Every structure is written in C-alpha cells, then in structure tokens.
Amino acid sequence: MRPIQATIHLDALRHNLAVAKHRAPNSKVMAVVKANAYGHGLLRAAEGLSQADGFAVLELNEAISLREAGYLQTILLLEGLFDRTELVDAAKYDISIVVHCEQQIEMLEQVNLSTSTHVFLKMNTGMNRLGFIPETYASALTRLEKIKSVADITMMTHFATADEDAGIVAPLARFKEVTKGFDYPTSLANSAALLRYPASHSDWVRPGILMYGASPVSGQSAHALGLQPAMTFTSELIAVQVLQDGESVGYGQKFTAHKTTRVGVVACGYADGYPRHTPSGTAIAVDGQLTRTLGRVSMDMLFADITDIPDAAIGSQVELWGAQVPVDVIAEASGTVGYELLCAVAPRVPFKVIG
C-alpha cells in the first residue's frame, strides 16, 4: 500500500471551535461543513465539531446524513432548495433553508407542508452571488411572514471583503439600515468577519475555514490567529537519487542541480491532490526538518531536496502540509487558497482519524 495518508485531528477541530466561541462569546456557532467538510469528511468533522450550535451544508443529502447520524442541532442549507420536492424532505428532517430568490419563496407559498420550516432570508450586500438586493429585501420578508409553514425567520448576509482591506463597514451598514425595525435574529459573520469584526457577530456566526485551522485572513497565519490544522497530509520517501552538477529531475527538467544534490522521491502527486503548479522551492518537511520541493510535481510523485538531511532515506516521513508546513504556505506558493487544497485531496488517499 502506498504510504500516503491524510490524518484528521479531532482535537484540533475542537480547539478551533473553542477559538470561535471565545471570539464570539454571545453568538451561536454554525460550523460550515459543506464540500465534505472542506475535504475532511462530513461525519468525521462533525464528530470533532459536535459541540457546535449548528451545521451549515450545501446539499440536502449532507443535511440528512447529519440528522441520521444523530445530530440534533440546527442544520442549514446554504443555497436553499432547488425544487419543491426537496422541501418536503427538508421539513421532515427539520432542516433550515436559506431563501435567496423569489422562486424559493414561491415554493414555500405553493407547497402545503404538514410540518413547518425554518428560513434564513439572505440579503445581497455586495457579494452579488445570492440574495435579495436591499431594495426588495423587506418585501421578501413580508411575503415570508404570511406563509403558515414558515416557523421562524433569521436575516442573513455574506461579506465579500471581510478578509481584505475594504472590510465590512459599508455592507454591514447597508444590512442594518434595511433590517432596522425587524425583530428577527441575524447571521452575518463568516470566518474572517468573526476574527476581525466583533460588530458582525450577532445571533449566529458561520465559521468555515477557521474550523479546519487554515487562515481566512490574507497576511495572517493560522498559528498567529491561534488555530490548529485539522488535517495533516503525509507520505514517505520511496526512492533517493543523487544529482551531479548539471543533472535535472522530473518532467520538463524544471530543476537542474548546480552542485551534488540528494533528491528524495515522495509518494504524492497531483492525482493525490497536491497541486501540479506548485513551484520548485516550495516548503516541505522530511523527517521533521523543513526543506524544499524540487522540479515539477508529477501525477504520483514529487521531489524533495534532502541534501542537508543526511539521514533521510527510503521510508523517511514527509509532511506535505500540516502543523510544520501550513496548508496556506502551499496555497500561496501555488497561487490559490488553502480552501482549494483541503477540498482537493483525492478519494484514493486514505484517511485516518485521531483525537
């Protein structure tokens, strides 16, 4: 069996949840576990986040899986429902739904439900993905108030620049102006807003990437924010090559040695979820020592410089990302974000749960 493995640390998930609760002590925490819990595994992550006040997912089958696993918390469908047949199942399993367009209100108006449902009404405050524009939000809220099957309403929005210099001042002001006078709970803060803007904490906060120990804020490391990585992606060296001055390694000969160089061949490649476009020189750890990658990432292998790690040999442990090599470091080198890398770990990689 190939030595590659992703380890999920339940204690890290618990720790990160505690950070969220500490930062927003007066809010309920809805842990975002969409996209198979950002690649960590829905039910694996839910175990570590079992003390969250709620879970947010994308698909109805994810929500039902959580219910059938025994989770009684609020479970929210972040994109709502896509057809009226789903509405019956959502009500049956007591799944809360985001309503972000007129068609979804029409579903609620037209379907005769035997049980009531919980609605999060979304306002578009500048993200321009989902939600009612401020000018139509009040009328949408009024329509929902008249629907007998709507048990309760939470007002929500999502910030486009909570992690950037632009911040949330303008969209938060817009949201507050439109909802002034409506006595409903609110849900505003994503991970970045939770950490940076206490004014956004309100009744519910919705941390996503924060839960998994990666940074939601550009320029600030997860460690500096007090977070712990919930995933460690590891493998081993499966071969060692010695390059002489002028020799190259890998496809395209993207690395050429200018001195005698020991190269460790790592059993991991882009088919495992390590990004192909990660440049030569990116951080990697071998036997607990930081070093660098060399050359181009292959489908099933990549290369590490072990020149200064004389004891490194076949079987030496390699950390691709985790506590020693933050996933955000790999993401930045690759021109992407940690979210993508965590979500992209391939199905062929075995997972282990500890803690």
- Say how many Å lie between the first and final Cα of the chain, rounded: 24
Q: What is the dihedral of CA 322, 213, 336, 302, to 10 degrees?
A: 10
Which amino acid is it at 57?
V
Give the active site residue among 28, 34, 38, 137: 34
Q: State which H helix or E strand residue 247 sits in.
A: none
Is 251 among the residues known to form the active site?
A: yes
The total of other beta-carbon atoms located within 10 Å of residue 147's CB is 18
Nearest one of 308, 309, 278 to 293, comparing CA atoms: 278
Sign for the CA dihedral angle at 180, 140, 120, 129 comes to negative
**Is 247:256 a contact under the CB 8 Å cutoff?**
yes
Helix (H, G, I), strand (E, B) or coil at 61: helix
Cα separation, 159 vs 136, whole angstroms: 18
Name beta bridge partners: 351: 6
Active site residues: 34, 251
